[in-house]
Amino acid sequence: MQASETADNPAPEIRTSDRLRGKGVAMAVYLLYLGGIMMVFTAPLGVLIAHLMRPRVGSWTHSHLHFQIRTFWFGLPALLAGGGLLVWQPVSGYLIITAWLAWAVGRCGVGIHRLMDNRPIEDPKSLWFGGTRVTLSD
């Protein structure tokens, strides 16, 4: 019996499979998004997997998939606008694509960090980094 357990207050029974259900899917989608920077077809594959698997994962990994879906659908218009502007306004297009790249990599980095710590995304509806305060120090 652990120190926090007593006869009146037993530890809740959580199976490892329930706790980790969907963690591999969420990690695969983050990696597909990061791969989408070099190979365009992997990001749409990632959002498709996230949409299909969202009803089947555990509660805390559900927040990761919701966060990933929003990352794709809010990032796509910015990427298309930046790509379109590259033709007429190369500097503006480059700046938009660079901002999108920093935003997408930052969201994936925060998501992977929280996923590896078995923590949900605090605010998956956030347009920034999921309610996480991002600093350069631990």
pLDDT at 51 over 70: yes
pLDDT recorded at residue 23: 86
Give the model's pLDDT for residue 138.
52
- CA 65 – CA 82 distance, rounded (Å): 25
Rounded to the nearest integer, the mean pLDDT of the chain is 83
The residue with tokens 């606008």 is 81
pLDDT of residue 115: 92
Which amino acid, one-letter code, is at 17?
A: S
pTM metric for this prediction: 0.77
The confidence score (pLDDT) of residue 18 equals 54
Q: Which residues of 91-123 are buried (b: 16+ CB within 10 A; e: fewer)?
A: eebeebbeebeebbeebbebbbebbeeeebbee
Question: What is the b/e burial string over 5-43, where b = at least 16 CB atoms within 10 angstroms of the residue's CB?
Answer: eeeeeeeeeeeeeeeebbbebbbebbebbbebeeeeebb
> Contacts by 113-118 with C-beta closer than 8 Å and gap 24+?
114/64, 115/23, 115/26, 115/27, 115/30, 115/61, 115/64, 118/19, 118/20, 118/23, 118/60
Copy the structure tokens of residue 91.
Answer: 């500097």
Percentage of the chain with pLDDT > 90? 51
Confidence bin at 47 (pLDDT 50/70/90): very high
Distance CA 86, CA 126 (A): 28
Secondary structure class of 116 (helix, strand, coil): helix
**HEC sequence for 40-62:** CCHHHHHHHHHHHHHHHCCHHHH
